[in-house]
Structure 1
């Protein structure tokens, strides 16, 4: 169970003694093998009342390194870190709000608020949790920004004329993940009703059924390094599009595709390559738009796999070595002939468990291959491919 921080813990962690205790603890291995000695060392440096807070903070800072940039001196709760947007994602959303007055009504420990404060004309953060607000003040100070921070319920507006940003918690009162917007904290409909006529930017899980938000003028799906991280529901800032896919890379590159782009493409025989579009493109329903942009076509109008003779730059694509109707016995024979031992299996449109199939195929040999299984019309099809990273 996650440690429950108190205001006294936060005050200590921000004090000179607390910073010294954190610095000392950050040098400890904090492994299962060293647990007893590490706890003893922290108790000696921090004192019994705050040793647990110091240990938890060091552990959370280490976890944050893969998610948040420049947060090695930040304060977190476990739940707040888990829900926080990765820095590139938060930065992208903030960029869309640059130069505006923005109020983050569920600011938590400030992961989004810090990025908003860097680019907004004025930034305000609020939350009902006093401990997280103290952490947000600390984190903003460390980051070198100074947004306004107040304690307030997101359903009781304390600002006027701002864009409202929110990230409702998607766990119920028992801590279980929930997909019901009415169980979000605060509830999604309650948030929308609390700010009539105000521009909104509300972060949601990418698996949400977006039909439950008819007020959203735009649904944006955002991926980072190939993984779909979030959906954002926009009102009043949609720029005339209803669906958007934004693809981010940790290295700083990014691109966006919207439903304003052309989507007229053919369904044709397989080309030299199979392309599996980024998950944000698929979830946003922009597969045809992506294909049109890159000169690709569909194998089947109901399947998200695309094909073509020239893959887009900067993607992982699959060069087709052999293809035909799917038959497990025939596939085993092909893999044996090609001496494939390391096998990746991708499936769309068929009820096939890749792991179970791999066990049955028993691949052996020095070669590596990707098998793409899909449906063309009513017929299962197989593509034996070589995965390649296409240069940018």
Structure 2
């Protein structure tokens, strides 16, 4: 009955200049309500609700009804704090079957003396997306064992344009024969996207955009600067998955995901020490506390160490797949609840795991702070740490989607607008 009232209330009083970000994580649902300004977003409502173990599997929704209940709880808290209800929502998508790659297509122009125009660029971009979709479909079919799997484009962003080997920020008006366009594209199986659409529908919200979560994290730190030279490895360590994005000179080189997150550490502790999941989680969170007996702490640390080895191997494998990059960035920025585990940061600061990877020097590792998210301010004082970064990134994707129609934009922004779904 309460839920019915909640849904009816949202239908009555939507606020047009506000958006909701829903970060549906394996461990928690986080809801942020933000007011959309001319140049920034202002968070006015925050909500958070814990998921049941059976609600999610490897970052993807396993129980729609359970997830809807948790979303409603998180949304109710955010709306009460904001004193209003937003009608448009951006939802993140994660899981091992979400594929984000950067593809380069080389297009040989039949009339090299004719200046490039926007319709020709649209044609080139269409070809890149077609090729990327075929690749993603094959890869997801192979990994899922289902040849008939349907995939859908969730995000695209322009990385770079070269004409006859010369990098340009605005290709319009240039002459030349060979145009090389690099575009990041993320695809997901329709079954995952369908589940998110159903969640939005059940919540009586208009689905503004679905975003691959590592892409959302990259948007959180890139902001509006089309000429940004931001370079880093971003790792979102959630409950069920770890999502990695490599950003080079402001362009997303690609995203990788693998199914090991904070829950894997808890499950190993529970299994090795014959504890319930809840008790194991408490021990993991409080591992540095004085009240834990040394003998118990030793067992917990041994269990964490086992999973940590597997997790580090996953990071190494994911980064090794960025084979088009000469050198990996020397900065690693972490977010997500799983990255709260100190041993995880310490392990990344070690040197053994990266020996076979193209780092030029030992990377620095630190947690992303909400204050580092560009163009998003928090008026609630409740967005306090790295666990909210993905949700803040989803707000940025929503902002991009809504405000992507300015007249004074650079060609890169105009082309990115053309790419957005």
Same fold? TM cut 0.5: no
Normalised TM-score (structure 1): 0.25
Highest RCO, 1 vs 2 (Cα 8 Å, sep ≥ 6): 2
Is the radius of gyration larger for structure 1 or structure 2?
1
| Structure with the largest fraction of helix | 2
